[in-house]
Amino acid sequence: MPKPICIVSAATLSLLVMTGAVSAEPFGKAGANVFSAENLMGIGRANVDPERGGDTDTTYFSFFATAESHTPFDVPKLAYDRFVGDGLTVGGFFSYSDVTDRTGDTESDSNILLIGPRIGYGAGLGDRVGIWARGGITFYTADFDFGLGSGTISGVGLNLEALFTLHVTPGFMFTVGPVVALPLSGKAEAAGGEEGLKFRNIGVMVGVAGIV
């Protein structure tokens, strides 16, 4: 998959710092709102499994958008979660990228959209460290045009995350921990027809978040 140009930006990260700096609520307190920029860097193992042909595994390292995305699940994304009760979070995430790449005389265009809901449980283990377990469903679709052909990839996946929260201030933190994405469904459609196409991803990812 192409390098993502995600809506996560330096301005977004600055906003997280500024919003987080004004919060003094302990992590896990009911009523708190968490704004996150996720999958900013990490290392993982991606599996691509087409219905026809053998599957492939790739080990990757990502730093912001400097590395290629191998599955829809490892792209940077923005998220919002609310503590609806002490420890219990309900939220969702979103990402969109649109990429044009040229290799020699060949130009390729692609875009990917993913969105999904999730629930979780978060609690502080002290002033500087907490835990945040989350689970959700990812819906994704991607369009591509490589000059010689075009098509669409779409599917649904299950996301499971077990994160540590590292609090720089009471309202600003880093998140780091293992993430797993498992396919529930997936397909690729092109001029030649339609076939099943599923993605799996396991890795350790880093993000940032502000609490207000």
CATH number at residue 183: 2.40.160.20
Residue 5 maps to a domain? no
Least confident of 6-20, 26-40, 94-108: 6-20
Q: What is the pLDDT of residue 57?
A: 92
pLDDT at 21 over 50: no
Residues 6+ apart with CB under 8 A from 53: none
Looking at the predicted structure, is the pLDDT value of residue 3 above 70? Answer: no
- Tally the domains of the chain: 1
Say what the pLDDT of residue 101 is: 63
2 assigned to some structural domain: no
Of the pLDDT bands very low, low, confident and very high (cuts 50, 70, 90), residue 176 is very high
Residue 7 has pLDDT above 60, yes or no: no
Does residue 15 belong to any structural domain of this protein? yes
23 domain residue, yes or no: yes
For the chain, first and last CA: distance in Å?
A: 35
HEC string of the chain equals CCCCCECCCHHHHHHHHHHHHCCCCCCCCCCCEEEEEEEEEEEEEEEEEECCCCCEEEEEEEECCCCCCCCHHHCCEEEEEEEEECCEEEEEEEEEEEEEEEECCEEEEEEEEEEEEEEEEEEECCCCEEEEEEEEEEEEEEEEECCCCEEEEEEEEEEEEEEEEEEEECCEEEEEEEEEEEEEEEEEEECCEEEEEEEEEEEEEEEEEEEC
Domain interval for residue 74: 10-211
pLDDT tens-digit series, residues 62-91:
876 555 667 888 888 999 999 999 999 999
Q: What is the mean pLDDT of residues 96-104?
A: 69
pLDDT, mean over the chain: 84
100 occurs within a structural domain: yes
Flag whether pLDDT at 8 surpasses 60: no
In a domain? residue 123: yes
The pTM for the full model equals: 0.83
Q: Is residue 139 part of a domain?
A: yes
Q: Is residue 148 part of a domain?
A: yes
Question: Tens of pLDDT along 126-172?
Answer: 889 999 999 999 999 988 876 557 889 999 999 999 999 999 988 89
pLDDT exceeds 60 at position 9: no
